[in-house]
Amino acid sequence: MTENHGTPRGRFITFEGIDGAGKSSHIKATAEWLRARGRPVLATREPGGTPLGEMLRELLLHQRMHRETEALLMFAGRREHLVQVIEPALERGDWVICDRFSDATYAYQSGGRGLDQAKFAQLEEWVHAHLQPDLTLLFDLPAGIARRRIAAQARDLDRFEQEQADFHERVRLAYLDRAAAAPQRIHLIDADQAPEIVMKRIEETIAIHCL
């Protein structure tokens, strides 16, 4: 990323958690809360965020594939997302809120699928060696509760949502391991609470660490 001497760099905040934890529903509210405080905000997501990324998202969510192919597509989409969207936004001073980033790849493709984390570290070094989120909010929720929330939505499920409970619990534990390894960046949000309480916790955490 090139240095911009005229405009302060934006902040990069990621929302993470297992499917059904409720993180996505709070991104819009968080963006509005920050805009009300004078911060320009770009909300985006992974997989996705670019035309290519959205095509990859459709494949990843609905097309069966080898687990290594899945992981490599995640990193390919991330590189495009960084170059086309995230890095330019941060350079112009925008705050970027991203629904999932590299922690999700470690959680799902390593914790869930059992792939070697060392390979991910090599890919991460190649794809975004000099960029990590300023703050990651990890929405933590037992897998059983998350699955009941998803079932109550009465919609078609994607490949990841269709996985068994033990897969989602492995993903959750991998997320918690990531949080334990990076406590200054990753902060837990107890997602088993009323939405207004969760939102208050989000606001408090961002205010302490970013504002």
Residue 22 annotated as lining a ligand binding site: yes
Residue 23 annotated as lining a ligand binding site: yes
Spatial separation of the C-alpha atoms in residues 147 and 117, rounded to whole Å: 26
Spatial separation of the C-alpha atoms in residues 64 and 83, rounded to whole Å: 27
Residue 19 annotated as lining a ligand binding site: yes
Helix, strand, coil percentages for the chain (3-state, nearest 5)? 55, 15, 35
Residue with tokens 């494949």: 59
Write down the H helix ranges in the chain: 23-35, 51-62, 67-81, 87-91, 102-105, 117-128, 143-152, 165-181, 195-209
Cβ neighbours of 190 (radius 10 Å):
11
Angstrom distances, CA of residue 28 to CA of 92, 96, 139: 21, 12, 15
Task: Write out the two tokens for 120.
Answer: 């991910």
Residue 20 annotated as lining a ligand binding site: yes
Residue 165 annotated as lining a ligand binding site: no
Residue 24 annotated as lining a ligand binding site: yes
Binding residues: 17-24
Annotated binding site for ATP: 17-24
